[in-house]
Amino acid sequence: MEYLPQILFLITLGIVSFILYKRIARIRSNIMLGKEIDLKNHKSERLNNMMLIAFGQKKMFKRPVPAFLHFLIYFGFLVINLEVLEFVIDGLTGNHRIFAPLLGGVYPVLMNIFEFLAMAVLISCVIFLIRRNILKVKRFHAKEMTSWPTLDANLILVIEIVLMLAILTMNASDQLLQLSNEHYPDTGTLFFSSNLIPLFEGMSEGSLIFVERFAWWFHIVGILAFAVYVTYSKHLHIFLAFPNTYYGDIAPKGEMRNMEAVTNEVNMMLGIQTEQPAEPPAEIARFGAKDVNDLTWKNIMNAYSCTECGRCTSECPANQTGKLLSPRKIMMDTRDRAEEVGKSLASGGKGLEDGKSLLGDYITKEEINACTSCNACVEACPISINPLEIILEMRRYVAMEESGSPASWNSMFQNIETSFAPWKFAPTDRFKWADELKED
């Protein structure tokens, strides 16, 4: 019985690690449904973007109030996990607060910092719950924010609040046990949890040990369960924000990625010499994107990184004028389709041959045609997600594979092809307006 807690902890850790391994492998497999794309260049610039945008939260501070609250949660998450390291070591070795005698007088200082951050996280989460459910901030209540996305966001906030309360409860009962039980090393006075001590005064030592151990187990199992839950949640961005910003687009905003094979054909027609590849190019299977396998793996990683904050949609001029387009929905639909295909393939199903496609069954032509290609959504995203790339690829498919663009667009395309301008007049007449000025 002496080693039973350690055995139970080791079994719990093993189960969670196995589940996480399987889930991470599934997500990676789903992301790799996309086409290969070479993003190994500009390593120093990419690393700089990751440090500034993902780690430094640079783009979050365009909206100072939620940014500050988010920073408290984010910073608290990073620092409090140092205490979780002690939890894990204690669980494996059977010790209690193994770092307390090693760090001496520094330990109480660190514990007070942890508690301050725990309170900051708790208060921030309460404010975010109020913003979502009482103040009802508009971007959290769009059409795509159905029952699950809304519940998911609230669950995360509630879970974080409960986990922080478990830390404070554990520390409060622990401080009482330090007075009578040598197994509990001295931590000094902990400011925030000390205020909870009156709730436990008068309890027997056995009851205090039960409260302390229950809070300890609740917190560590809660952290492990949270790690698994995150892989099914929009909060996967906690981990994916770093690779997503590293592999983010470093080209100037507004620069569209051309299809190399088409560019070469056009250059040949215009008599422009291009460097010939060593091998003839492979036949193009499809122009643009109809389903997730026509996108790049980076596009699908973008979808899994999306935190559904709605900043992109709130900045979208098409959405603001009542159009059907929501960049957030584009990313959510892409992720849902990748999940559907991945789940089908894993169970031996039809996968991409299930009779569905991203364009049509998830995203409509009306949505993608409403996009003005202004890049407002790209600029607004805190972690460099690019909904515009997916929209443009689907529009490319509609135009080049289905010839399904609106009639007014087709007229414009034809004018550009024949007159090198969107307007229907000969190139030789382009500067007639200047001649009229001379006459005046």
pLDDT at 279: 61
Q: Is the pLDDT of residue 264 over 90?
A: no
CA neighbours within 13 Å on the CB side: how many for 194?
9
Domains and CATH numbers, the chain: 4-31+63-246 (1.20.950), 288-406 (1.10.1060)
Q: Is 316 helix (H, G, I), strand (E, B) or coil?
A: coil
pLDDT at 257: 80
pLDDT at 278: 53
List, in order, residues 6 or more apart from 137 with CB less than 8 Å away. Answer: 131
CA neighbours within 13 Å on the CB side: how many for 60?
20
Quick one: what percent of the chain has pLDDT higher than 90? Answer: 72
Q: Model-level pTM?
A: 0.90
The mean pLDDT value of the chain amounts to 91
Exposed, middle or buried: residue 302 (CB in 10 Å: 0-12, 13-18, 19+)? buried
**pLDDT tens, position by position, 186-225:** 998 999 999 999 999 989 999 999 999 999 999 999 999 9
Average pLDDT value for residue range 258-267: 76
pLDDT at 145: 93
**pLDDT tens, position by position, 143-194:** 999 999 999 999 999 999 999 999 999 999 999 999 888 889 999 899 999 9
**pLDDT tens, position by position, 366-386:** 999 999 999 999 999 999 999
pLDDT at 439: 63
Token representation of residue 277: 């590849």
CA angle 285, 290, 294 (to 5 degrees): 55
Cβ-based neighbour number of residue 216 at 10 Å? 21
CA distance 274 to 190: 70
pLDDT at 387: 96
pLDDT at 260: 76
Radius of gyration of the chain (CA): 28
Which residues sit opposite 359 in a β-bridge?
Answer: 363
**H or E stretch at 48:** helix 43-49
Give 262's pLDDT tier (boundaries 50, 70, 90).
confident
**pLDDT tens, position by position, 273-300:** 766 665 655 666 788 999 999 999 999 9
